[in-house]
Amino acid sequence: MAIRAVLRMGDARLWAQAQPVETFDSPELHDLVADMEDTMRHLDGAGLAAPQIGVGRRVVIFGFEQNPRYPAAGSVPFTVLINPVLTPISDETEEGWEGCLSVPGLRGSVPRWRHLHYTGFDPFGRRFERTVDGFHARVVQHECDHLDGILYPMRIKDFTSFGFIDAFGPESTGLPTD
Ligand code: NI
């Protein structure tokens, strides 16, 4: 398939509400997912949402292996999540560093639900659900925000924890979220 250009913050398509996928197991959907995976892996991202490559559909992908530089982040299984529904399962939130392929060169500390339940569909239309926490929960929230036109800087509360990666000290080099 193909590596696609990733839209950057400022492009109006990133602010749009994405539409649900209505037809599963179609060549178009499989091609979209393949392009997203090629693009994410090429850029060494942890996740990617369809609107980031200019496709206004409710499709996200994410996942990565254990990174020895960030042992606390653990691994997240590679997942294709379509028409997701997210439900926090406690009021608890936590701050954590995020980056975004649409906001290159920057990092910010973002509050997210710590414990999360999510459901959705795979490309074949099979429904699945998971209960997750920590970085897995963070990645899902970050990617699914893209489907509602939300980029992580819009979630930041403390702007002293938002800036250029190369201007921060080493403590802020957390795993990029996508
Ligand atoms: Ni992102």
pLDDT in tens, 123-171: 999 999 999 999 999 999 999 999 999 999 999 999 999 999 888 876 6
Q: At residue 79, what is the residue type? A: T
Distance from residue 102's CA to the centre of ligand 1 (Å): 6
Distance from residue 149's CA to the centre of ligand 1 (Å): 10
**pLDDT band for position 74 (50/70/90)?**
confident
The residues that are catalytic are 143
Residue 171 has a pLDDT of 62
Superfamily of domain 12-170: Peptide deformylase (3.90.45.10)
Instruction: Provide mean pLDDT across the span 68-86.
Output: 83
CA dihedral 163, 169, 171, 174 (to 10 degrees): 50
Helix (H, G, I), strand (E, B) or coil at 91: coil
- pLDDT greater than 80 at residue 70: no
Distance from residue 49's CA to the centre of ligand 1 (Å): 7
Partners of 131 in the beta sheet? Answer: 117
Distance from residue 103's CA to the centre of ligand 1 (Å): 7
Angstrom distance (rounded) from CA 170 to CA 62: 25
pTM as predicted: 0.93
Angstrom distance (rounded) from CA 65 to CA 126: 24
Report percent pLDDT > 70 for the chain: 90
